[in-house]
Amino acid sequence: MAASCDSLLPLILLLCLSAQAVDRSNFKTCDQSAFCKHQRELKPGQSPYRALLDTLELSDSRLTLQLINDNNKVRLLLELYRLQGNMTRVKINELKPLKPRYEVPDVLISDPITEALSVVAQDENSLVLSLGGKDQRLIVSAQPFRLDIVEGPQVLMSLNSRGLLAFEHLRARKDTESEQVTGQENVEQQTDEVCDGQIKEEEDKPGMWEETFKSHTDSKPNGPSSISLDFSLPGVEHVYGIPEHADTLKLKNTDGSDPYRLYNLDVFQYELHNPMALYGAVPVLISHSTDRTMGIFWLNAAETWVDISSNTAGKTVFGKILDFVQVSNEVPQTDVRWISESGLIDVFIMLGPKPADVFTQYASLTGTQSFPPLSALAYHQCRWNYNDQEDVKTVDQGFDEHDIPYDFIWLDIEHADGKRYFTWDPSNFPQPKEMLQGLMDKRRKLVAIVDPHIRVDSGYKIHNEIRSKNFYVKNKDGGDYEGWCWPGNSGYPDFTNPEMRAWWASQFAYDQYEGSMENQYIWNDMNEPSVFNGPEVTMHKDALHGVWEHRDVHNLYGLYVQKATADGLILRSGGVQRPFVLTRAFFAGSQRYGAVWTGDNAAEWGHLKISIPMCLSLGLVGISFCGADVGGFFKHPSAELLVRWYQVGAYQPFFRAHAHIDTPRREPWLFGPENTALIREAIRQRYALLPYWYQLFYNTHRTGQPVMRPLWVEYPDDVATFSIEDEYLIGKDLLVHPVTDEGATGVTAYLPGKGEVMSKSCFSVLYLYFLCLVFQIPVFQRGGSIICRKDRVRRSSSCMENDPYTLYVAPSSQGSAEGELYIDDFHTFSFEVAKQFVHRHLSFSANTLSSRNLAPDSQFSTASWIEKIVIFGGSQPSSVTLKNADGTESALEFEFGSTLAVLTLRKPGVNAAADWTVVLR
């Protein structure tokens, strides 16, 4: 949910809620953000920074040397680290700051492991360091200061090659008594002159010491503190990442427009195809070319703007072909510039070289996607709001009556007593345990919302405890910060405080959260944080989190809320149960704590279409558990749009229908029997494929590889895939091309790879048009793969846990295929702490299909068995023999469909955890 209002009056809030689209005047452009405007006035040119090579200090783990700004004589400290796994870390801070500058905690899972740096060459103006194998070098140029990472003769990446390093040092305001700048003996008087394209720092530029936006004033007690650094990527035309934006997968050139903004905001019904900030911010950019994939991780939690320039931007396809024919000497290059309001420069350069390597490198820094319980990967039914317990019961029964499976029903803010979170409305939800038990009896679950704004009410236990423990964020004058949100006047817990987070986690205990049970899970909304009467509908930047201003920590707030909530769900179970927590706001590392969704979208075809690149972008930067509100949160979808959205949602990682309180009801059976049948089939397809989704989430939890991924991730040399965003891969074995255009009866799918096309079961280097009537979802299985399904679909995933598996084998043109099967108890940490799981490798070659144990040390038994095997594209065998692990053999029944060349083996009957072999003769 979202609001976009700048008033305290409830009436005005309601009027705002009925608006048709985002009010962009509520949100800053770069020109309205003083530090962004000031930094962007710096133009590429000779950098004023010089490296003082005589200050070099080298240890086993790092190199340090000083930089000096020759305009103002301020010195910076440069730290360089070579990290394990083909990464380099660059940190730049003031050498002697007036006070410490904020360094982001808790995002890195540990201190990165360093490897030895060594100097291989040095002269009076440069320093060459070895970065290990493949002749990788880091070259430090002294005047002007510049860093180049090279591999042999090839420059992989350059820092400050455009001279846009700019570090606003902390300094005393001229009109204060501390003008003597204690501890900054090397700081000289600033002027307003321009030298070599660089604007010198001065202290009287508008917005440097105080800034006003609309009716809000930012006091900026520490003055200007922004930072900037440019990166050049030779040979690169395609860059991705830096979510969250409702924009294309490939990032656009920002010359002549606003940069991409990273600043977590409550944006009401966001616009499409612009770089304005949304609910989450992950400061990670991925570059890709046929030669190499690399990543830049800018570890800064303050408001950040990212400029992207390309020397091929704006060229037509004909222009690029002409360059090729004429053997143009112009090498493609993309330049990226990061600008943050405060903090320091702390950047991780991930050198790949393959896409999978970059994902592994980033996961080694910030962790992998949490492994959700199986039920969280199933279908979720939500709206703002189900009215009462009887409504919940009626909707639950409706799914049974229409034979539609679901696992979770959700309750929004109206379920609580006066929007006091951790409570239940006594009139509408008087017996929450009775409601939860009714769902549990059907092996279903519930999610209730718990938002991080707390009603200021002396009769509310949660508020009283937070206030008594002094856990609220403070305003600039030291009192508790208060603002307006759904309950009215609200306080905002300081989730940056670990003591506050521990207390919050304790509130999910069953004896604290009265009425809750083990089948209740949690949703954190509005955690940007949303402040209806705050600047840009969020918290004032000069609010205080301990000694730090909110401007320093803003983009971290949502991560901390989700972390504290996930910790609480784990704690309440004694550390046994895996949690499920959905968040709207997020940052780098949020993947460790649960799922995200794309916020307050609308029931429009454009919003359906944009959900694909939005989730693909998140997967590239570690957050695989992503989805969009099926049907659109705002407005009322047509039956066609709703059906197509269910068909898309069934093939995205997080699958939830959600709707605004003012929209007509839209449970799956309310659009007529024909549409009910189509929606039912889409949901049933999701349930049948749950074994594949679950195995992919297990793998992403182990490795960091995205679940939903662009085609270029698996086909990195195929240039045709680099800009495709209307189709995608689930893992490497399923390709989905959803129908996202109104009235469409077909799609033109690009099938990458090598080999023949075999009726939706093989990929090939081809564009093919597929007829897709409203009852069809274009999904293709890769030739060379084996996918496990459960084709007995029941009312919830929990009811299917012990059901048998069907294996779908799609051999490659060479006649081979492989896949995996993963099984555990589907909801606890036993897979991790006690190695209680089954992990099998399935392979098909030379007409032999076998199952091999990938985890011989694990201990787990399953009641599931192999019910059926379907093999595409072969010939009819004369016999089929099953060989068990004990050496016994038996003949299998089979049938062969010659029209589609499909061989079906009936009832092998082997346990899913056993070794076995099937031989076709």
Catalytic residues: 525, 600
Is residue 312 classed as helix, strand or coil in its secondary structure? coil
In this structure, the dihedral spanned by the alpha carbons of residues 271, 277, 283 and 287, taken in order and rounded to 10 degrees, is 30
Q: Which long-range contacts (CB under 8 A, 24 or more apart) does 841-844 make?
A: 842/786, 842/788, 842/807, 842/818, 843/786, 843/816, 843/817, 843/818, 844/786, 844/809, 844/811, 844/815, 844/816, 844/817, 844/818, 844/871
Axis-axis angle for helices 557-572, 498-506 (nearest 10): 40
Residue 10 structure tokens: 């409830």
Residue 24: count of CB within 10 angstroms of its CB:
14
Answer positive or negative: Cα dihedral of 77, 83, 89, 93: negative
Whats the size of the chain, residue-wise?
921
CA angle 281-285-287, nearest 5°? 160
DSSP codes, 565-625: HHHHHHHHTTT-BPP-EEESS--TTGGGG-EEE--S-BSSHHHHHHHHHHHHHHHHTT---
DSSP conformation class of 689: T
Distances (CA, A) of 447 to 155, 410, 433, 631: 51, 5, 13, 19
Give me the helices (H) in 241-332, please.
Answer: 317-325
| Cross-strand pairs, 582 | 523, 595
Burial zone of 889 (CB within 10 Å; 0-12 exposed, 13-18 middle, 19+ buried): exposed
Residue 206: CB atoms within 10 A of its CB come to 11
Residue with tokens 């048998």: 804
Give the integer Cα–Cα distance in Å for 572 and 552.
32
* Helix, strand, coil share (%) of the chain residues, nearest 5: 20, 30, 50
Angstrom distance (rounded) from CA 71 to CA 164? 14
**Cα 373 from Cα 919, distance rounded (Å):** 35
Q: What are the phi and psi torsion angles at 177 (to 5°)? A: -75, -15
The amino acid present at 514, given as its one-letter code, is E
Rounded CA-CA distance 378/580 in Å is 12
Helix axes 461-468, 498-506, angle to 10 degrees: 150
Alpha-carbon distance values, 770 to 142, 737, 747, 773, 891 (Å): 58, 10, 5, 10, 39
CB 593 within 8 A of CB 580: no
Pairing of strands 345-350, 87-94: antiparallel
Cβ neighbours of 895 (radius 10 Å): 10
Q: List the beta bridge partners of residue 868.
A: 806, 906
d(CA 858, CA 615) in angstroms, rounded, equals 33
CA distance 228 to 461: 45
Gap between the Cα atoms of 99 and 96, Å rounded:
8
Distance CA 391, CA 435 (A): 11
Q: What are phi and psi of 110, to 5 degrees?
A: -170, 170
